[in-house]
Amino acid sequence: MDEQQLRVFIDIVSQYFEKQTGKAPDVGSPYLGDASSLPIYDFTGVIGISGERQGCVYVTAHRDLLRQLLLHVGESDVSDNNLSDLVGEVANTISGNARRYFGPDFMISVPVVVSGNARAIQVPRSVKAYILPLRWHKFEAALVVSLQ
Amino acid sequence: MLKLGLGKYRSIVILITLFIVFDIGVLAMTFVISRQLTADAISINLAGQHRYLVQKLAKTALLIDQDATQGTFDSSGKSSLNEVKDLIATADRFNAIIATFDGGAKLPDMTEELALTPSQDTQAAALFALVKDLWEPINAQVQALNQPKDGHRPDVGPLLQVLIPNNLNLLSTSHILTSRLEALSAAKAAKLRAVQMAGMAAALVNFAFILYSFLGQLRKSDSAVERAQRETEDILRTTQEGLFLLDPEFRMGSQTSQALSKILGVEAKGGENFLDLLKPLVTPKTYDTTKEYIELLLRHDVKEKLVASLNPLDCIEISAVRANGALESRFLQIRFNRVLQAEKVTHLLVTANDITRRVKLERELKDSERRVQDQMGMMVHILQADPRQLQDFLRHASDGLNQINEDLRTASPTTGVSTPRIDAMLRIAHRLKGDAAALNLEAVSQSMHAFESVLQELRAQTRRSSEDLLPVAVRVKGLYAEVNAIQDVIARIGQVRGVVSVEPPKPAHDPEIAAQPFVRQWRGFAQQLAKRLGKQVELTYQGLDVDGLSSQLREAVNTSVNQFIRNAVVHGVEAPADRKKRGKSESGHLSVYVSDQGDGTIELSFRDDGRGINPEKIRLAAVRKGRISPEVAKGLDARALTLMIFEPGLSTRDEVDEDAGRGVGLDAVKEMISRLGGRIRIGTTSGEYCHFRVQLPVKAEPNDTNMPDRIKEVA
Q: DSSP per residue over B187-198, as a string? A: HHHHHHHHHHHH
The β-bridge relationship of strands A139-147 and A55-61 is: antiparallel
Q: Is residue B506 part of a domain?
A: no
Residue numbers in A near B322 (CB within 8 A) = 48, 112, 122
Among chain A residues, the shortest Cα distance to B418 is held by A29
B529 close to B570: Cβ distance less than 8 angstroms: yes
Domains and CATH numbers, chain A: 3-11+24-127 (3.40.1550.10)
Question: Of B152, B185, B154, whose CA–CA distance to B76 is shortest?
Answer: B152
Rounded to a whole number of angstroms, the distance between the first and last alpha carbons of chain A is 9
Higher pLDDT, B252 or B318: B252
Domain boundary among B455, B471, B499: B499
| Nearest alpha-carbon partner for B308 in B273, B335, B275 | B335
The pLDDT-based confidence of B504 (bands split at 50, 70, 90) is very low
Measured distance CA(B617)–CA(B622) in Å, rounded: 8
Does residue B476 share a domain with residue B386?
yes
Please tell me whether residues B97 and B155 are part of one structural domain. Answer: yes
A110 chain-B contacts, CB cut-off 8 A: 321
B 322-351: CB under 8 A from A: 322-329
% of residues, chain B, pLDDT over 90: 14
Domain boundary (B326, B354, B382) is at B354
In this prediction, residues B175-200 reach a mean pLDDT of 85
> Is the domain of B569 the same as that of B462?
no
Whether residue B66 sits in one domain with residue B158: yes
Nearest to residue B695, comparing CAs of B557, B514, B544, B542? B557
Chain A residue with the nearest C-alpha to that of B316: A51
CA-nearest of B270, B240, B264 to B320 is B264
Q: Which of B473, B490, B469 is nearest to B395 (CA)?
A: B490
Provide the residue-wise pLDDT of chain A in tens; the chain has 148 residues. 788 888 888 999 999 988 888 888 988 899 999 888 888 888 999 888 887 778 888 999 999 999 988 888 888 888 888 898 899 889 888 888 887 777 766 777 778 888 876 566 777 777 889 999 999 888 989 999 998 7
- CATH number reported for the structural domain that contains residue B703 in this entry: 3.30.565.10
**Nearest Cα to Cα of residue A31 among A126, A123, A132, A142:** A132
Question: Is A7 part of the contact surface with chain B (CB cutoff 8 Å)?
Answer: yes
Domain edge (last residue) among B190, B212, B234: B212
From chain A residues 59-98, the ones with a CB under 8 A of any chain B CB are none
Q: In this predicted structure, what is the pLDDT of residue B34?
A: 81
pLDDT for the residue B473: 92
CATH assignment at residue B327: 3.30.450.20
State how far the Cα of B407 lies from the Cα of B166, in Å rounded to an integer: 163
State which H helix or E strand residue B345 sits in: strand B344-354
Chain centroid to CA B27: how far? Answer: 59
Taking CA atoms, A54 is separated from A108, A147, B21, B318, B329, in Å, by 10, 6, 83, 14, 9
Q: Give the tens place of pLDDT for each residue, B427-448.
A: 888 888 888 887 778 888 888 8
Q: How many domains does chain B have?
A: 4
Pairing of strands B344-354, B242-246: antiparallel
Cβ of residue A142 closer than 8 Å to a chain B Cβ: no
Contacts of residue B672, Cβ cutoff 8 Å, sequence gap at least 6: B556, B559, B560
What CA dihedral angle connects B654, B659, B660 and B666, to 10 degrees?
-160
Per-residue pLDDT band for B512 (boundaries 50, 70, 90) equals low
Distance CA B231, CA B212 (A): 28
Between residues B646 and B536, which one has the greater pLDDT? B536
Chain A residues in contact with B327 by the CB 8 A cut-off are 47-50, 56, 107-109
- In this predicted structure, what is the pLDDT of residue B2? 45
Clarify whether residues B371 and B461 are in a common domain.
Answer: yes
At B74 the pLDDT is 56
Residue B155 lies in a domain: yes
CATH number of B432's domain: 1.20.120.160
Q: Does the beta carbon of B280 lie under 8 angstroms from any beta carbon of chain A? A: no
What pLDDT score was predicted for residue B596?
84
Asked if residues B514 and B484 have their Cβ atoms less than 8 Å apart, the reply is no
Q: Residues of B with CB below 8 A from A146's CB? A: none
| Integer Cα distance of A22 and B434 in angstroms | 49
Q: Which residues of B166-204 are buried (b: 16+ CB within 10 A; e: fewer)?
A: bbeebbebbbbbbebbbebbeebbeebeeebeebbebbe
- Does B377 lie in the same domain as B341? no
Let me know if residue B275 belongs to a domain.
yes
Nearest to B486 by CA among B398, B399, B378: B378
Q: Say if residue B326 is in the same domain as residue B376.
A: no
Which residue of A29, A60, A128 is the best one to mutate when testing the B interface, meaning the one whose CB has the most B CBs within 10 A? Answer: A29
- The answer on B370 and B349 residing in a single domain is no
Q: Is A115 on the interface with B (CB under 8 A)?
A: no
User: Is residue B230 domain-resident?
Assistant: no
Q: Helix, strand or coil for residue B308? A: helix
Residues A126 and A119: their CA atoms lie apart, in Å, by 16
B284 in A contact zone (CB under 8 Å): no
- How far is B307 from B302, CA to CA, in rounded Å? 8
Does residue B235 form part of some domain? no
In a domain, B2, yes or no: no
Distance CA B654, CA B385 (A): 46
User: Tens of pLDDT along B195-207?
Assistant: 878 888 888 888 8
How does strand B588-596 pair with strand B679-685? unpaired
Residue B267 domain-assigned (yes or no): yes
Nearest C-alpha neighbor of B572 from the set B652, B637, B501: B652
- Looking at CA atoms only, how far is residue A58 from chain B in angstroms? 9
pLDDT tens for B150-162 read 556 677 788 888 8
User: How high is the pLDDT of residue B499?
Assistant: 44
Per DSSP, chain B holds a count of helices (H) and strands (E) of 22, 10
Distance from CA of A105 to the nearest CA of B (A): 11
Q: Do B321 and A48 touch (CB under 8 A)?
A: yes
Instruction: Give residue-wise pLDDT tens across range B65-123.
Output: 887 777 665 555 556 677 788 888 888 888 888 888 887 667 777 776 777 788 888 89
pLDDT above 90 for B246: yes
Partner residues linked to B645 by β-bridges: none
Q: Tell me the CATH number at B133.
A: 1.20.120
Please name the member of B283, B324, B473 whose beta carbon is closest to the beta carbon of A121.
B324
Question: Which of chain A's residues have a Cβ under 8 Å away from the Cβ of B491?
Answer: none
- pLDDT of B498 over the 50 cut: no
> In terms of domains, do B190 and B264 share one?
no
Whether residues B394 and B434 fall in one domain: yes
Does B223 map to a domain? no
Which residue in chain B is spatially nearest to A124 when comparing CA positions? B326
- A48 interaction partners in chain B (CB closer than 8 Å): 319, 321-322, 325-328
Q: Which domain holds residue B176?
A: 7-212
Q: Looking at the structure, tell me whether residues B485 and B517 fall in a common domain.
A: no
Beta bridge partners of A131: A31, A144
The answer on B661 and B546 residing in a single domain is yes
